[in-house]
């Protein structure tokens, strides 16, 4: 498995999280002033490391969720924000190391099957009831199986209270007892999503034309991002675009679980999808 700090720096979301934590130490405390000034300051990095040591896990989760929204491929300014956070990302490695020291146990905690909560997306799963049938009725290119059930484990209050993320509004929480054992496909790194897609391949038939980041999700590449070495936010060419064939996944697994969003598990008497971080942690 790729070391946490390396994966964090390679990921657009991880790099954005580190940049947000450093920018919180600037006098104005506004994370997205970094677009105007993408430089990294060693003194501010040191202050961010100290801040991580004092943070709660919930506060880290909230920052991570907002980082995902800031640089998500659906965000119009994602491209310039990804560039700004990646320009000097290596300078922020001490912050990533501090996150692993402080929260490594929570970030890699196993599934808590005794405390699961479920919810349905009003535009998707609820509209395609009954659940657990025709799992290949999918969102867009197939990242999500609408008739599957989405569930999550216990989350800190700050994560629930974040203004971003896929959640029903108003928030309703329903207990979901889980009968053990559960066959779960665990995803901790991009390589795990890669393995799932290649073991149960479904070829995507189109790109996400309305998304901001280039690659299989938007048509127009941007030179600024491609000038950076080892950036994983955008692709200039795509040989193949695979998503899982969820009906085949369901034959071998009852759930897929993605750990970089804290505590999320997808569980049902068959399978669910992973929301992929396309190219990073």
pLDDT at site 161: 55
- Please state, in angstroms and as integers, the Cα–Cα distance from residue 199 to each residue in 128, 153, 195, 202, 229, following that order: 26, 26, 6, 10, 30
Alpha-carbon span 144 to 202, nearest angstrom: 12
Alpha-carbon span 86 to 35, nearest angstrom: 11
Residue 61 has pLDDT above 80, yes or no: yes
pLDDT at site 281: 29
pLDDT at site 210: 53
Residue 221 has pLDDT above 70, yes or no: no
Tokens of 176: 């979901």
- pTM of structure: 0.77
Choose the weakest-confidence range: 64-68, 144-148, 274-278.
274-278
**Average model confidence (pLDDT) across the chain:** 77
Alpha-carbon span 274 to 265, nearest angstrom: 9
- Please state, in angstroms and as integers, the Cα–Cα distance from residue 210 to each residue in 76, 204, 216, 230, 259, following that order: 9, 16, 11, 25, 27
**Closest by CA position to 7, among listed 81, 93, 91:** 93
Q: Convert 225-259 to b/e letters by CB count within 10 Å (16 or more is b).
A: beeeeebbbbbeeeeebbbbbbbbbbeebbbbbbb
User: Chain-centre distance of CA 184, in angstroms?
Assistant: 18
Which band of pLDDT confidence, cut at 50, 70 and 90, is reported for residue 275?
A: very low
Which band of pLDDT confidence, cut at 50, 70 and 90, is reported for residue 189?
A: confident
Tokens of 27: 């006098």
Alpha-carbon span 141 to 78, nearest angstrom: 21
Residue 96 has pLDDT above 90, yes or no: yes
pLDDT at site 208: 59
**For the residues 253-281, what does the mean pLDDT come to?**
45
Residue 71 has pLDDT above 50, yes or no: yes
Higher-pLDDT residue of 14, 147: 14
Which band of pLDDT confidence, cut at 50, 70 and 90, is reported for residue 196?
A: very high
Residues shown for the chain: 281
pLDDT at site 176: 75
Alpha-carbon span 178 to 223, nearest angstrom: 48
Alpha-carbon span 281 to 279, nearest angstrom: 7
Residue 45 has pLDDT above 50, yes or no: yes
């Amino acid at each position: 498995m790729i070391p946490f700090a390396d994966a964090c720096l390679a990921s657009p979301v991880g790099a954005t999280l580190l940049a947000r934590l450093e920018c919180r130490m600037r006098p104005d405390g506004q994370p997205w002033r970094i677009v105007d000034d993408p430089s990294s300051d060693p003194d501010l990095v040191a202050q961010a490391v100290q801040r991580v040591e004092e943070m709660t896990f919930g506060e880290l989760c909230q920052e991570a969720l907002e980082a995902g929204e800031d640089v998500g491929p659906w965000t119009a300014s994602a491209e310039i924000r990804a560039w700004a956070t990646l320009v000097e990302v290596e300078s922020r490695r001490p912050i990533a190391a501090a996150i692993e020291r402080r929260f490594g146990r929570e970030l890699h905690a196993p599934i808590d099957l005794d405390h699961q909560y479920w919810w349905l997306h009003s535009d998707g799963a609820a509209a395609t009831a009954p659940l657990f049938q025709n799992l290949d009725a999918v969102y867009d290119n197939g990242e999500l199986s609408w008739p599957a059930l989405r569930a999550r484990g216990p989350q800190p209050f700050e994560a629930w209270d974040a203004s971003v993320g896929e959640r029903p509004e108003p928030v309703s929480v329903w207990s979901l007892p889980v009968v053990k054992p559960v066959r779960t496909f665990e995803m901790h790194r991009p390589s795990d999503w890669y393995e799932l897609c290649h073991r149960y391949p479904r070829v995507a038939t189109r790109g996400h034309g309305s998304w901001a980041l280039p690659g299989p999700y938007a048509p127009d590449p941007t030179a600024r991002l491609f000038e950076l070495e080892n950036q994983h936010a955008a692709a200039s060419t795509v040989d193949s675009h695979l998503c899982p064939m969820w009906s085949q996944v369901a034959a071998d697994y009852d759930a897929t679980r993605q750990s970089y969003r804290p505590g999320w598990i997808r569980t049902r008497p068959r399978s669910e999808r992973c929301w992929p971080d396309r190219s990073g942690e």
